[in-house]
Amino acid sequence: MPSKTPVALVTGAAHRLGAQTARTLHARGWNLVIHFRSRDEQANSLIEQMNRQRPDSACALQADLSQTPAVNRLASDAVAHWGRLDALVNNASVFYPTPVAEATEDDWNTILNTNLRAPFFLLQACLTELRRNRGSVVNLIDIYSERPIDDHPLYCASKAGLAALTRSWAKDLAPDVRVNGVSPGAILWPEGEAEMDQSAQQAILQKTPLARTGNPHDIAETIAFLICDAPFITGQIISVDGGRSLNM
């Protein structure tokens, strides 16, 4: 028997914005499928917290979203766990610089496959279940999808493509499935190869009317609103950026 509790699959949910989104939906009574690629300790810690709060309310599934067979397996396993799926949050993303003169085919495949191809085929694999439950999809876009950031052409192209898919899906899947997007601004600074120095961070904040970074809660609550509280909203991409997109 399928669960009576609605179920959301959040990709890239082991840490940062994905984890906060999962916590926010869980607090609203949803069951969560936590997708992760390599952060198994963080994913397992998160589902343990959730299952202590509400038994059998969270599970974790590993998948490399750059590989289509793994995407299909993630979809089938996510649906099988509770016998239903009501919401998909395409949060997982790869972000690092790819200057035109230096970008490789591997860079193209890694970024475009993870940020654009995976959301398409994951939705395709989940579509029957989402239609059955009159479900909702939220894609994490980026304010740089419209005004590209220097030396990140592949990332910006992938997010611009995802923005186009968001609007296209909203038309094609209505009235059964609602599809929206959220474009974060400066919420959490990038990590690893894409890490920004203090001067770069200050330059962004100086162009942000609210003059500060946002909080992961800002993104998570917007996603939860679109999934839970916005039955007449589809095809919209909401910028949650402190006004940064006004000065780009």
Is residue 247 a contact partner of residue 47, using CB atoms and an 8 Å limit?
A: no
List all residues 6 or more positions away from 186 whose beta carbon is below 8 Å from its beta carbon: 201, 204, 205, 208, 213, 214, 241, 242, 244
Strand 178-184: give its sheet, edge to edge: 58-62, 31-36, 7-10, 87-90, 136-140, 178-184, 237-240
Task: Enter the tokens of residue 7.
Answer: 């179920």
- Give 14's DSSP letter: S
- Top mean pLDDT of 12-26, 175-189, 191-205 is at 12-26
Count of all residues that appear for the chain in the document: 248
User: Can you tell me the distance from the alpha carbon of 112 to that of 211, in angstroms, rounded to the nearest whole number?
Assistant: 32
- Which amino acid type is present at position 220? A
Name residue 31's beta-bridge partners. Answer: 7
Task: Enter the tokens of residue 76.
Answer: 């089938």
List all residues 6 or more positions away from 162 whose beta carbon is below 8 Å from its beta carbon: 90, 115, 116, 119, 139, 141, 145, 181
Is residue 221 a contact partner of residue 166, using CB atoms and an 8 Å limit?
A: no
More confident residue, 203 or 153: 153
Is pLDDT above 90 for 213?
no
| HEC per residue, 19-59 | HHHHHHHHHCCCEEEEEECCCHHHHHHHHHHHHHHCCCCEE
Closest alpha carbon to 137 in 110, 111, 176, 80: 176
Q: What's the pLDDT tens digit per position in 20-75?
A: 999 999 999 999 999 999 888 999 999 999 999 999 999 999 999 999 999 999 99
Q: What's the pLDDT tens digit per position in 107-160?
A: 999 999 999 999 999 999 999 999 999 999 999 999 889 889 899 999 999 999
- Reported confidence tier of residue 205, pLDDT bands at 50, 70, 90: confident
The gap from C-alpha 245 to its chain's centroid, in whole angstroms, comes to 19
Q: What pLDDT, on the 0 to 100 scale, is given for residue 193?
A: 53
Element (H, E) at 132: helix 118-132
Q: Which of 136, 155, 162, 163 is catalytic?
A: 155
Reported pTM: 0.94
Is pLDDT above 70 for 196?
no
Residue 96 annotated as catalytic: no
The gap from C-alpha 225 to its chain's centroid, in whole angstroms, comes to 15
User: Can you tell me the distance from the alpha carbon of 222 to that of 32, in angstroms, rounded to the nearest whole number?
Assistant: 17
Domains and CATH numbers, the chain: 7-239 (3.40.50.720)
